[in-house]
Amino acid sequence: MIYTKKSPALLIIGFLMLVWGGLNANGQLDGLQATLQKSAHSDHVKVNEKYTAELRVATEMAQSEGKPAPEMKKPESKFDHAKALQTKFGYFFGGVFALLGLFILVWKPTKGNLDYYISTVPGMAFILIIACVVRWGLDPMFTNWGKAVKDAGILTWDFAKIFNLNYVVLGIVLGIIIVNVFKIPEWAANGVRSARLFLKTGVILLGTLYSAAELAQLGIMSVALIGVFVLGSVGLVLFMGRRMKCPNTMTGVLSAGLGVCGVSATVAASPVVQAKAGEIAYTIGTILLWGVGCMFLFPTVGHLLGMGPVQFGAWAGTGILNSAQVAGSALAFDPNGIETLKVAEIFNITRVLFLPIIVLWLAAWFVKHEQGAEKVNLGQVLVAKFPLFVLGFIAMFALSSTGAFAPPGHYQGKYFSSSEVKEDKLLKPKEVRALEGEVSKMRNPAETKALQDLIANRKMMTRDQGETLKSVAKIAGLDAVAAGAIANADKAATHDSKIIKNFRDWLAWLFAFGLIGLGMQITTAAIKQAGGKPLIIGSVVGTLKAVGSLVVVLMFVKEFV
């Protein structure tokens, strides 16, 4: 069988990407880019103004001393960097696709390896160009709209953030629209099939973002509380799914989504249980709708029950399914304080760190149940059928925990290090004086010690002191310069691993690519096939989790957090 279809599509895609790269390089898209990347562009303008002013001063000084005008290197802003990246990307992929597109048009394919592999390229290029539209166009566009609608006072919340209208969800939605409205073109079919490969690669890399040391820092009781709810929810969904005779693929992916934390867990678990594209979409839809409902309900219930910031943070971080909605709910409950948000995020992070355990559990569960017989030797079946990429995910998690990519205590590449604070980031004398004037306002010896250490060293010395001083910064009546100094010192001691930042970029592309491909396999028939059972399971487990965690938080949280 010959797989490669004769079509000019790849050549056209290559040409379009080359044009995009060229227009970016010549600055002809600067207006569009400035609209899309608003904050990066405003930083870019500031950087340029600063550079121009410094250059003018230096030139004037040089002229007054009779020296030649100095050469100053123009600093690269985030905006410049993004444009340069799009240019390189456009030239590289555009060039490759255009050449291969020409080759496909003139080549007479014969049965064999070359035909097989070439046949996948047009589909991959098709997904890639859509991924570019999503990552560089739709994602920032929705972010801007969300902010604009909020700033205009039409909504009190950012709809793009709350409904997760980022490249993950937008990619799936666009894929769904394409397959249901236009169908997948024949020349792209083989490439679209490769989407799952890239999704799996993304899941393996996801392991690099977490570390066991971060889990250890969170405190035994919060880990125990979250552990009970995460594992309990997963167990309950698996039990109910089996009882209600849902397909194992659907039950598996739903359990991860409801148990761990929404969309990323769903994506990570989907290849483990071989979930169909429709089932993934169904799970994500259930989680997002449920999460949005909780986001509005939780703050009201919290206020009615007179919950404190720590209690509410713990409840939201345990009971709400998706990260963005946890943050939204915590901010809705306590818009001015950071205490609720901080506690909610700690609980949320703890939950995400259970992902490796859940992935392993689901892999073993799925292999056992899909074989459909208790008589089979589980060990043998696991060896024969266990998804190998899960081992890759676990290996990356282990490597990340040993500090191979960033210091062991990092979370998603961010870590605290006092020794890496640069000289120019140390507190200025004015800030130190402002802090010295506030020592008497400290409420306990720990706060006093933390502030004295900060003054003595002009930088944050430990992560715990950083946390203590961040709550100090919220003391009413504290000098604004002192509060700003604390924020600056904390920022200076928080670093972002370059390696993991690079992995995060890769992850974004791999997931965008994989999810657009998955979206292209979600037909209306597939959604109908999933039926109403998963929604029932989702509602029951979601309610039990929300109510159960509320009871436990009200009973115990005051004592130990």
Binding another protein (rule: CB under 8 A), the pick from 247, 313, 356, 409 is 247
Q: How far is the CB of 395 from another protein (least distance, A)?
A: 9
Is residue 415 a contact point for another protein (CB under 8 A)?
no
Please give the Cα distance from 442 to 399 (Å, whole number).
Answer: 41
The helix or strand, by DSSP H or E, that contains position 414, with its residue range, turns out to be: strand 414-416
Residue placing its CB nearer to another protein in the complex, 15 or 509:
509
> At its nearest, how many Å lie between another protein and the CB of residue 275?
9
Nearer of residues 280 and 485 to another protein, judged by Cβ: 280
CA within 13 Å, CB half, 430: 5
Give whichever of 191 and 262 is closer to another protein, judged by the CB atom.
Answer: 191
CB 80 → another protein: shortest distance, Å?
20
Give the residue from 342, 329, 326, 321 showing the smallest Cα distance to 264.
321
Closest approach of another protein to the CB of residue 504, in Å: 10
- 254 binds another protein, rule: CB under 8 A: no
With respect to another protein, which residue has the nearer C-beta, 152 or 388? 388
Burial zone of 403 (CB within 10 Å; 0-12 exposed, 13-18 middle, 19+ buried):
middle
CA–CA separation, 282 and 535 (whole Å): 9
499 lines the binding site for another protein (CB under 8 A): yes
Looking only at residues 120 through 149 of this chain, which bind another protein when binding is defined by CB under 8 A? 120, 123
DSSP 462-522: -HHHHHHHHHHTTSTT--HHHHHHHHHHHHHHEEE-HHHHHHHHHHHHHHHHHHHHHHTT-
Q: Name which of residues 51 to 90 contact another protein (CB under 8 A).
A: none
Q: Which is nearer to another protein, 175 or 328 (CB)?
A: 175
Contact 49, 139 (CB under 8 A): no
**Spatial contact of 95 and 102, defined as CB atoms under 8 Å apart:** no
Residues between 355 and 414 with contacts to another protein, criterion CB under 8 A: 367, 370-372, 385, 387-389, 391-392, 396, 399, 404-405
Within residues 167-186, the interface with another protein by CB under 8 A covers 179-180, 183-184
User: If binding means CB under 8 A, how many residues of this protein chain bind another protein?
Assistant: 60
* Joined tokens for residue 219: 């405190």
194 binds another protein (CB under 8 A): yes
User: Distance between CA 289 and CA 317 in Å, rounded?
Assistant: 17
Strand partners, 411: 414
- Determine the longest span between alpha carbons in the chain, in angstroms: 92
Contact between 270 and another protein per CB under 8 A: no
How far apart are the C-alpha atoms of 409 and 424, rounded to whole Å?
25
- For residue 544, the SS3 value is helix
Q: Is 208 in the site for another protein (CB under 8 A)?
A: yes
- d(Cα 217, Cα 372) in Å, to the nearest integer? 41
Distance CA 127, CA 118 (A): 15
Q: Does 187 bind another protein (CB under 8 A)?
A: no
Residue whose C-alpha is closest to residue 512's, from 84, 51, 248, 138: 138
Which one of 200, 351, 410, 545 is in contact with another protein (CB under 8 A)?
Answer: 200
CB-nearer residue toward another protein: 147 or 504: 504
- N- to C-terminal Cα separation, the chain: 64
The one among 525, 532, 555, 559 contacting another protein by CB under 8 A: 525
**Which residue, chain included where needed, has tokens 């919290």?**
302
Nearer to another protein, 282 or 312 (CB): 282
Could you list the residues that contact another protein (CB under 8 A)?
1, 3, 113, 116-117, 120, 123, 179-180, 183-184, 188-190, 192-194, 196-198, 200-201, 203-205, 208, 247, 249, 274, 276-278, 367, 370-372, 385, 387-389, 391-392, 396, 399, 404-405, 498-503, 506, 520-523, 525-526, 529
